[in-house]
Amino acid sequence: MEPMEIKWLGHACFAIRYRGYTIVIDPYNSDYINGYPKLRVRADRVLVSHEHFGHNYREGVLLSGRPESDCPFTISSLQVPHEFKMGNWRGFCKIHILEADGCKLVHMADLGTQLDGGQISRLYGADLVMICAGSATALPSQEAKRATDEIMAKVIIPMHYRHGNMGGHRLETAEDFAYYFESPDFIHRYDTDSFWLTPDAEPQVAILKYLGPSAFGDLAVPEESRTRPGLLRRLLGKK
């Protein structure tokens, strides 16, 4: 298995890159998410867990047009309630499961209730899980940690949390989430926004560092020119 890059683009948004193929999950609309700059990235495919502004900004993803048959992942999903009222308040969202070459990645979306037996069985043994670190409208941090315990996740990446001036003020922090893990050695804090998953990856909570669009590299899409094509040439009297 080649190394698989899991790159945190902010909030609950990630770019999953494997074998030259890129999937972006849950692109956010910066007009509704505190502190984050405008999202504009390239990808081969986009997945959306639910139709809330922090997760469904498809306009922020420029798709390559490659056929889905090129995708190295088998992708499936589970529908779960967004909150403790079993979907009667904020509706439902999809947990996305990406599998390739014996590796299972899980994006837990805005999971708002504990998992049932069938869901635990489907997610059990995940190599890497991306989960809300603690939200006013999803599981609080202690319950989110319990969910990762139940599915025996190997690598856990917290997302959808408050840090600096980014994220809603009602959100908990990554440190709130990390507090509930008994061993400090299990918590790994990175100075990068990417985690490279390999078969021998050490079990851990991987707290990634948001670095912004300047670190997106070839994923970034340049701002469109405000000048219409050919206008400048006509103003200069050129054909």
Of the candidates 101, 93, 112, the one whose C-alpha atom is nearest the C-alpha of residue 47 is 93
Per-residue model confidence (pLDDT) at position 134: 75
Range of the domain at 116: 4-224
Look at residue 235 and tell me if it is in a domain.
Answer: no
Instruction: Write a three-state SS string for 45-76.
Output: EEECCCCCCCCCCHHHEEECCCCHHHCCCEEE
Q: Are strands 204-207 and 187-189 parallel, antiparallel or unpaired?
A: parallel
Measure Cα distances from 4 to 62, 128, 151, 175, 187 in Å. 21, 11, 21, 26, 20
Asked if residue 231 is part of any domain, the answer here is no
Residue 226 above 50 pLDDT? no
| Residue 65 located in a structural domain | yes
At 15-71, the pLDDT tens digits run 999 999 999 999 999 998 889 999 999 999 999 998 878 889 999 999 999 999 999
Give the total number of structural domains in the chain. 1
In the chain, % of residues over pLDDT 90: 75
Report the distance separating Cα 36 and Cα 224, nearest Å. Answer: 19
Can you give the pLDDT at residue 86? 56
Band of residue 112 on the pLDDT scale cut at 50, 70, 90: confident
Tell me, yes or no, whether 234 lies in a domain: no
CATH number of the domain that residue 13 is part of? 3.60.15.10
Closest CA to 194 of 8, 17, 2: 8
The amino acid at 46: V
Q: What is the mean pLDDT of the chain?
A: 89
Give residue 89's pLDDT.
56
Average pLDDT over residues 97-121: 94
Residue 43 in domain = yes
Question: Is 115 within a domain?
Answer: yes
The pLDDT > 70 percentage for the chain reads: 90
162 domain residue, yes or no: yes
In a domain, 57, yes or no: yes
Taking only the tens place, the pLDDT of each residue in 78-89 is 999 866 555 445
Work out the number of other CB atoms within 10 angstroms of the CB of residue 220. Answer: 14
